[in-house]
Structure 1
Amino acid sequence: MTTSPPPTVSPDQVWWSAPADQREGRPLLVLLHGHGMDEQMGAGVRDRLPPELVLASIRGPLRVRSGYGWFPLDASLRLEQVDEAAHRVVRWVAAQTRHPSVGVLGFSQGSSIGLQAMRLDPDLFAYGVVLSGFAAPLPVAGDAELRRRLPPVFSGRGDADPLVPAPLVALTDQWLADHTTLTRRVYRGLGHDVSPAEIEDLTAFLRAQLPGG
């Protein structure tokens, strides 16, 4: 029997790219990993993203095999669980008050949580990144405000990704086009992964979001 995850993000669930005395005043990028991964995703990409950013990689609340997840991928899934996980992220990010801007980057399942967090609190995030990801299919209260603001979002995926169903890809692409200022890239031959070319495009997008970018 799966126990209920804690209602908030605890300090031991967060990997930081910089010690506490080197974070204040720097733009923050929140990383949300995919199903079966963990917060060490941050350590894996730290040297590939702009050094001006402080990265905070959050571990999902559900234990999954050798890693963690944000919500189950079986018959026990309820769409409310996406909201519950996104609310945890929103509450944690809202407490990070020492940064001039905050972006959110999600890979796979983590991207659905990142987008949901933006939809729950459109004031909180300056931009978003969706890698091999998808949006939850039901409307959210903040959608109208996002449509008005059109925050920058980078979306990258491979055309050989077998894990995200085509109808969900189409729904996500349409939602992003309607609610964000979208930079969309599709990489030929790439599966459910991130390629060097995608990292290069992502880095250019992130640099454009930095103060003065």
Structure 2
Amino acid sequence: MSAHPSLDPSVVRWSVPPSERGDRPVLLLLHGYGSDEHDLFGLAPYLPERFVVASVRAPLAPPWPMPGASWYPIEGLDGRDPDAVTLAARAVLAWVRDAVGEAPVGLLGFSQGGAVALQTLRADPDAVSFAVVLAGYAAGGELPGDAVLAARRPPVFWGRGAADDVIPAALVDATAQWLPVHSELSGRVYPGLTHSISHDELDDVRAFLDARLALASPSSTG
């Protein structure tokens, strides 16, 4: 496949200026299809303050008239190429290397961004500490990092709505099989929730993130 465009560092939203980041853990937000860096950044006030939140813009433009940006092309309900998801994940990894450095990094992605979050974890298990996947899925195929994940079982939160009809059922079923084998899985299916994020889900995400901070530094729960 052709090279994937890189992430544009000029369209990243940060929760704090460079002088306040230091070695604080970074939570990277990956938006969904047709959205941009402003969308998930609205969640920042609901997230633990200890995290430096960074929200990036996906590098591709979806077909007109869809607005916003996309991480990989979608052509019909079954048009989600795992190789394209991997290319997007490698673009995320390149951005992390350039913009974050040695600070711990966790990922939070919605829909397409959730798929990329998991694929980034799979592409380089050493670069990502955990993943929060909201209304997303695990792309098919196999990656070299899968065996590492199965041995390490990094923390993953997977939340989805019971009334979400956007992600094909086959992908949801495959993800439900894949995640328990390759992660320390927590999460919830939210009754009545469509392809969106609810307040109950945000509360669960906050608890998951607080637990990550507590394990990393018991005296700094943010």
TM range (shorter): over 0.9
| 1:70 has 2:71 as partner | yes
Q: Which one is further off, 108-117 or 63-72?
A: 63-72
The answer (yes or no) to whether the contact 1:17–1:42 under 8 Å persists in 2 is: no
Q: Deviations over 1:147-200 (max 9, x none)?
A: 000000111001000101111101011111100000020100000000000000
Alignment of 1:132-143 (within 5 A): 132-143=135-146
Q: Is the 8 A contact 1:154 1:202 kept in 2?
A: yes
> Which residue of structure 1 aligns with residue 206 of structure 2?
203
Q: TM-score, normalised by structure 1?
A: 0.93
- Following superposition of structure 1 onto structure 2, how do residues 5-84 of structure 1 map, counting pairs within 5 Å? 6=5, 8-64=6-62, 65-74=66-75, 78-84=81-87
Amino acid corresponding to residue 16 of structure 1 in structure 2: W
CA contact (8 A) 2:154 2:184 kept: yes
Alignment CA distance shift 1:77-1:148 (3 Å)? closer
Q: Give structure 1 stretches of 5+ with no counterpart.
A: none
> Unaligned 5+ residue runs, structure 2?
none
The letter of the residue matching 2:101 is T
Instruction: Describe the shift of the 1:162–1:209 C-alpha distance in structure 2 as closer, same or farther (beyond 3 A).
Output: same
Q: 1:42 to 1:142 in 2, by over 3 A?
A: same
**Aligned partners of 2:8 and 2:59 also within 8 Å:** no
In structure 2, the residue matched to 1:164 is: 167
1:149 aligned onto 2:147: no
Distance 1:123-1:184 versus aligned 2 partners, 3 A rule: same
Opposite residue 131 of structure 1, the aligned amino acid is L
Counterpart-to-counterpart distance in 1, 2:40 and 2:85? 22
Q: Report the AA paired with residue 71 of structure 1.
A: Y
SS state at 1:44 partner: helix
Q: Which amino acid aligns with 2:38?
A: Q
**Runs of 4+ deviating beyond 4 Å:** none
After superposition, the CA RMSD in angstroms is 1.7
Deviation sequence 1:64-120 (CA, Å, 0-9, x none) = 322111111116764321111110101111231252x21011100011111111001
